[in-house]
């Protein structure tokens, strides 16, 4: 149960509301929005505030401008996108505090919307400065604070902590939805539960790996992170991206897995084969290397005996995706599950294809998608998180085909791992 007050649990009618959203959206080199998913997901909260006659001042960050203005990271394009989405004018202010903000917000009409400039143009944001928070509140004249930026609540910034201590602090509808769905899937999932974890660094996801070893029935490791586990197991990975500093951590995880597997039915799956190439390039020649049981090499070479190179990653080759045997295992395992939580693509899915719609290193990721959307029959309850995963799904226009696509990366991982989220803890309780 969500135990924080939301905008429906407090009398906010006709009040001026400071809304913290997460509009950290990807932009093209010429400043156009590549994915508006986070913007569209904020719309229900904004519309609810409009319906209550509130005057809405939205604040957010974009990118990492390091405490100083950067026109390439301005939120101006977001204001234009919001205007189209809400079908009303969203006034953009080129500052987040000061006289311009005062002038733009002091005579707002009920239902009007203002978007402030990137909060991270000010060093006080990342410093969680009480003074900067006070400037925001005083410049906007806000009477209530609503936190709806799920993607930032794992951070203790001025707009997630200090501001919330100066005003009645409530949760927005998106925040409530994210917390409720993810918490239920972790605390009371429908089994069998499967976790698919990609990414590059073990240390970034070690807490969630251990969490899922404790609660899941199947854990699949993919992406570059799998290379570190494979090397720890003695598999030759050539020139693949490996986190050598975490090899001992990988061995500790594998030892933990063996303990759990002896105690109950549990599967910890590392790729058995992979797509390799000498460069991360859409024009690079690829091949499949089966380092586990050599079936692919044997079938391809029959009646001759395959050479050792057919099932060994070369010293100048990189593993860039899981192979067809691994993809088949993963998508098949999905058919046995009722809940699947997925964070991290299976390969370098962002490399564009020369032909077709699927990149040369995205076939493993596509196999996961096919399994989750019910292509083979079973369609489990699915939760997707992480910037690369949700970005890929959004680019393919598949958001509506999953049960829940989270707007948070680090926040969703911390929530799943059971960590306290500062931006949630500070909100008013019921």
How do residues 175-202 score in pLDDT, each as one tens digit? Answer: 999 999 999 999 999 999 999 999 888 8
pLDDT higher than 80, residue 67 = yes
Question: How many angstroms separate the CA atoms of 3 and 316, rounded?
Answer: 53
Residue 387 a catalytic site member: yes
How do residues 120-166 score in pLDDT, each as one tens digit? Answer: 999 999 999 999 999 999 999 999 999 999 999 999 999 999 999 99
Q: Is the omega angle on the peptide bond into residue 192 within 30 degrees of 0, that is, cis?
A: yes
Which residue is catalytic, options 347, 387, 391, 408?
A: 387
What CATH architecture applies to the domain 16-177? 3-Layer(aba) Sandwich (3.40)
pLDDT higher than 80, residue 314 = yes
C-beta pairs of 292-301 under 8 Å, 24+ apart in sequence: 292/325, 295/325, 296/323, 296/324, 296/325
- Give the confidence band of 323 by pLDDT, cuts at 50, 70, 90: very high
Question: How many angstroms separate the CA atoms of 291 and 294, rounded?
Answer: 6
Q: Which two tokens stand for residue 185?
A: 């899937």
| pTM of structure | 0.92
Query: What DSSP line would sit under 324-392, residue for residue?
Result: HHHHHHHHHHHTT-SEEEEES-SS-TTSPPSSSSS-TT-HHHHHHHHHHTTTTS---EEEEESHHHHHH
Domain ranges, ordered by start, for the chain:
16-177, 189-416
CA-to-CA separations, 56 to 105, 107, 145, in angstroms, rounded: 9, 12, 10
Which residue is catalytic, options 80, 201, 278, 338?
A: 201
Specify the pLDDT at position 302. Answer: 87
Q: Name the superfamily (CATH) of residues 189-416.
A: Phosphoglycerate kinase, N-terminal domain (3.40.50.1260)
Residue listed under structure tokens 């807490």: 207
Check if 16-177 and 189-416 are the same fold: yes
Length of the chain, in residues: 430
pLDDT higher than 90, residue 233 = yes
Residue 201 a catalytic site member: yes
Residue listed under structure tokens 């020649």: 285
Question: How many angstroms separate the CA atoms of 111 and 171, rounded?
Answer: 19
Out of 99-103, 221-225, 304-308, least confident range? 304-308
Residue 231 a catalytic site member: no
Q: Are 326 and 364 in contact (CB under 8 A)?
A: yes
Which residue is catalytic, options 4, 20, 38, 120?
A: 38
Specify the pLDDT at position 305. Answer: 86
User: Residue 401 belongs to what H/E stretch?
Assistant: none
Specify the pLDDT at position 297. Answer: 78
- CB atoms closer than 10 angstroms to residue 405: 20
Residue 419 a catalytic site member: no
Q: Are 151 and 38 in contact (CB under 8 A)?
A: yes
- Give the confidence band of 239 by pLDDT, cuts at 50, 70, 90: very high
Question: How many angstroms separate the CA atoms of 111 and 399, rounded?
Answer: 29
pLDDT higher than 90, residue 424 = yes
């Amino acid at each position: 149960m969500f135990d924080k007050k939301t905008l429906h649990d407090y009398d906010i009618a006709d009040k001026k509301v400071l809304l913290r959203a997460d509009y950290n959206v990807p932009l093209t080199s010429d400043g156009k929005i590549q994915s508006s998913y986070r913007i569209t997901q904020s719309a229900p909260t904004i519309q609810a505030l409009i319906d209550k006659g509130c005057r809405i001042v939205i604040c957010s960050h974009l990118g990492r401008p390091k405490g100083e203005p950067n026109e390439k990271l301005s939120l101006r394009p977001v204001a234009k996108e919001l205007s189209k989405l809400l079908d009303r004018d969203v006034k953009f202010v080129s500052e987040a505090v000061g006289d311009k903000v005062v002038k733009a917000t002091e005579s707002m009409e009920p239902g009007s919307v203002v978007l402030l400039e990137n909060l991270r143009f000010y060093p006080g944001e990342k410093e969680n400065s009480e003074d900067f928070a006070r400037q925001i509140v005083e410049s906007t004249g806000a009477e209530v604070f609503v936190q709806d930026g799920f993607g930032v609540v794992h951070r203790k910034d001025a707009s997630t902590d200090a501001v919330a201590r100066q005003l009645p602090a409530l949760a927005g509808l998106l925040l409530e939805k994210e917390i409720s769905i993810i918490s239920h899937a972790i605390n009371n999932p429908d089994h069998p539960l499967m976790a698919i974890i990609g990414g590059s660094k073990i240390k970034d996801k070690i807490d969630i790996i251990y969490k899922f070893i404790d609660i899941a029935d199947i854990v699949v490791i993919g992406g570059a992170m799998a290379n570190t586990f494979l090397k720890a197991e003695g598999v030759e990975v050539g020139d693949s991206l490996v986190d050598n500093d975490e090899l001992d951590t990988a061995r500790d995880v594998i030892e933990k897995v063996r303990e759990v597997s002896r105690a109950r039915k549990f599967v910890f799956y590392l790729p058995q084969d992979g797509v390799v190439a000498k460069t991360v390039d859409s024009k690079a020649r690829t091949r499949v290397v089966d380092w586990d049981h050599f079936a692919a090499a044997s079938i391809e070479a029959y009646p001759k005996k395959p050479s050792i190179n057919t099932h060994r990653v070369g010293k100048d080759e990189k593993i860039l995706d899981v192979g067809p045997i691994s993809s088949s295992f993963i998508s098949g395992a999905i058919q046995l599950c009722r809940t699947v939580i997925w964070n991290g693509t299976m390969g370098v899915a962002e490399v564009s294809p020369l032909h077709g719609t699927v990149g040369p290193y995205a076939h493993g990721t596509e196999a996961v998608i096919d399994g989750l959307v019910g292509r083979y029959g079973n369609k489990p309850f699915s939760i997707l998180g992480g910037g690369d995963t949700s970005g890929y799904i959004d680019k393919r226009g598949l958001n509506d085909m999953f049960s829940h696509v989270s707007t948070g990366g680090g926040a969703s991982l911390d929530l799943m791992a059971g960590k306290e989220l500062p931006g949630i803890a500070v909100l008013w309780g019921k």
